[in-house]
Structure 1
């Protein structure tokens, strides 16, 4: 059996860390098993779906290295869904319901008031044909529900183990709206059967949905006369570092936004691949290596904590490992050469920080000199050699200041760093000193903007 998984976002918004984690887990599983990764655009909501969002999704996935083998678009398969839905109606799997949203809301409130679960009462099944015609004459069009078996549905979850849901505890799901628009479930199940999806891996918020969808799967396979029920896996959801819900923040955690912040794709995949597992989070730049160590057995059920600070630390580690040739096109656009890159890469969090160090070296800054440090910086200014300076000149300068002032350690080096760069932390000063140059260094050490 060839493993085949799918990632099926709706092109109604941008990808964020929550849904990209599902894409990554599916991709890693497929890659490890020499399988197929299908990207499916769930664009049945034509009013909200846009080509721009669809292209953005593909751009984000490609940037992360999550290349797909096959692509499908649901809006091109409406005829297929129509054919299956006709069969489901004829066989009694789908039944028409005429309640308005307000009527359904009143029913749920009454059930809760009586201490009952708000499960649809199947009142529509008691309607006569005359009743239905009356509603239609009033201008009401039905929505269509799938009639569940009201039995316990069981499966062995790839992550949660043996799992069961009593479908009597949930409402018959609405599969088709009054305006004829297909909701998520029916097209998804049809596509999973038709494209021979072997494993469906998604968030644990879909556990109850899976029980109802298994029954829809079986109905679709009965119509097709073939097909195999996929295996299901439900991973834990992401929460914030303090355990808070991420749902309100997901818009600010878009993949596009992270890319614009200068976060490396390997930092995102390294973190998301290991969150919620028993494996330590490590900076891994090769997706194949991440896939080799991937296993559902290592995934726990506790919520996975997403910490932006941890992501930034990973980003810094990855940049420390990055050769100039791997990012030359991006650095060249910033005016950063290999020598400067080698000097600053151990002291940056994002690639954009390298450009800031270039500005410090080649642009103008206001030196930071405390009154009590003026003696040391004046001595340093006097010790700056004329003409071209090298990294070796840095030790000569600091020795001269040490002799003139008696300073050593932090008291010696910090005032010089602040005067020359305006920063209290940063790359090795020998390289920075040589790059800043004699004229600019002398001016800054003298307290002048340069």
Structure 2
């Protein structure tokens, strides 16, 4: 007999309850954000509820710093939750709810009570096998070509045997009693999946010290919080039949009302076609915040790791994603993380910002510790004059610092590679000619400055591109940057000519 579960496909409106339940261990990573995004988008698409729950039962690995980072990350991304920790009054919808507390470390009495009911109902049993005994039997099973999962040695212990073990002072874990028949369920992403009983053996729900395991607390919380849909990573797929069986037991005990619909999101692959891990630098959410990605740009890209709004469209807003998102359209195949594409999508979102919003978004990168110039040198007016040009060229917000530093530094940056690349033989003569023409040019017109440098180049047999390179390096210190002649206008005639003179002095020395 095959036991089947098809979920609650098609549930909509306020009946939908999804959850995002990270552990506060280390910095948030992009795979975790993708999971949060898909849950959030489905809740908002259906008009349902997003529950934000913190799975912090591992005292050895969890930290308050990581917990705060999770909250901060969700707020920065704009992924608001309807129930969860941290009630706030600043307009960001977050916190509270009828199913609290929303930190597992504060729910230990609940897990202990449910475990007792599972034991009393015969759905779970004490297991007195030692680690050495378990490993010996697993090794023997492997040698004989049998499945090496738990063999059920303590499944049907007599009262006398239990008493003997207790008299010996043996400790025990608590295991859940799995059904003896296959479990089949319909995954919203992967379709129908069947697990055979020999591959899903009885599993632990309490440690020997009585501490609850993830295998117990996660389904119990989902049941008590009335979660209707569980969207999570593919790495957790193998635990699903165990959770389904536990849900059945909880339903028979009157603790749960349903088994939620499951959807297992595809792996995110990194370099070398390997699963992106927390240790990969490009997986860290902090990296993208520090580089100045927009939340909208990053979320847009992450949504493409398994889903698309249409075959021929990569750029869209969060509102557009919410309107179109369907968990059943997520692709089951692994998704490759492409940093270049992520940057390109972010650049598009930067260009689409209203100019005032772009100027405001750049503000952190125009101050310490990012800005290399003294605060007294900064001019908001000068920056805003160049902002429209910068907006069309930036990939991430942190790029703004190198693009405008020539305005606020006392001297241009010293970049020897740029100097060697631009200052070829004859550059001093070209700069002298260009300086003379710039000195008498009309500085109210960028085109006039361009014509001055073009004319200087023609006198030395150079096209504009070759002629302007020494001027750019003399003034900005770099071979690339914002449009040169508009930049010279903002810098001003006097400062521009002073820098050309300094470059000439260096070339003549």
Aligned CA distance change for structure 1 residues 295 and 167 (closer, same or farther; 3 Å): same
SS at structure 1 position matched to 2:439: coil
Aligned to 2:32: 19
Shift of 1:344: 1.4
Shift of 1:252: 5.2
Distance 1:312 1:404 in 2: 41
Q: Which moved more, 1:50-59 or 1:33-42?
A: 50-59
Shift of 1:27: 0.8
Distance 2:132 2:20 in 1: 35
Counterpart among 333, 355, 360 of residue 401 in structure 2: 355
Q: Does 1:438 align with 2:469?
A: no
Shift of 1:340: 1.9
Q: Which moved more, 1:171-180 or 1:234-243?
A: 234-243
| Residue-by-residue CA offset, 1:69-116 (whole Å, 9 max, x unaligned) | 101222222222222111100111111112233332222222112111
Gaps of 5+ in 1: none
Residues 381 and 441, structure 1, Cα contact 8 Å, conserved in 2? no
Shift of 1:338: 2.1
Counterpart among 425, 450, 465 of residue 371 in structure 1: 425
Counterpart among 109, 113, 118 of residue 83 in structure 1: 113
Residues 4 and 198, structure 1, Cα contact 8 Å, conserved in 2? yes
Any residues of structure 2 matched to 1:102-181 within 5 Å, and which?
Answer: 102-181=132-211
Aligned CA distance change for structure 1 residues 280 and 255 (closer, same or farther; 3 Å): farther
Aligned to 1:238: 268
Distance 2:209 2:392 in 1: 58
Distance 1:403 1:169 in 2: 79
Query: What TM-score, normalized by structure 2, do the two folds share?
Result: 0.82
Distance 1:97 1:321 in 2: 61
Q: Which moved more, 1:196-205 or 1:418-427?
A: 418-427
| Residue-by-residue CA offset, 1:332-377 (whole Å, 9 max, x unaligned) | 4515532222121222222121122221232122472222333322
Aligned CA distance change for structure 1 residues 332 and 12 (closer, same or farther; 3 Å): closer
Residues 267 and 315, structure 1, Cα contact 8 Å, conserved in 2? yes
Shift of 1:165: 1.3
| Residue-by-residue CA offset, 1:95-139 (whole Å, 9 max, x unaligned) | 111223333222222211211111211111253434433433444
Shift of 1:330: 4.3
Counterpart among 476, 482, 496 of residue 421 in structure 1: 476
Shift of 1:41: 0.6
Counterpart among 299, 302, 319 of residue 333 in structure 2: 302
SS at structure 2 position matched to 1:340: helix
Residues 151 and 166, structure 1, Cα contact 8 Å, conserved in 2? yes
Residues 277 and 283, structure 2, Cα contact 8 Å, conserved in 1? no
Aligned CA distance change for structure 1 residues 93 and 179 (closer, same or farther; 3 Å): same
Shift of 1:178: 0.7
| Residue-by-residue CA offset, 1:176-213 (whole Å, 9 max, x unaligned) | 11111111121211111111111101112222211110
Q: Which moved more, 1:108-117 or 1:387-396?
A: 387-396
Q: Does 1:380 align with 2:434?
A: yes
Distance 2:80 2:284 in 1: 19
Any residues of structure 2 matched to 1:331-350 within 5 Å, and which?
Answer: 331-333=362-364, 334=366, 335=378, 337-350=383-396
Distance 2:355 2:26 in 1: 35
Counterpart among 217, 223, 236 of residue 247 in structure 2: 217
SS at structure 1 position matched to 2:154: helix
Distance 1:329 1:210 in 2: 46
Distance 1:291 1:250 in 2: 29
SS at structure 2 position matched to 1:209: helix
| Residue-by-residue CA offset, 1:234-262 (whole Å, 9 max, x unaligned) | 11110015422222634652212321222
Gaps of 5+ in 2: 1-11, 85-101, 367-377
CA RMSD across the alignment:
2.4
Distance 1:323 1:430 in 2: 24
Distance 2:318 2:149 in 1: 44
Aligned to 1:282: 314
Distance 1:378 1:100 in 2: 86
Query: What TM-score, normalized by structure 1, do the two folds share?
Result: 0.92
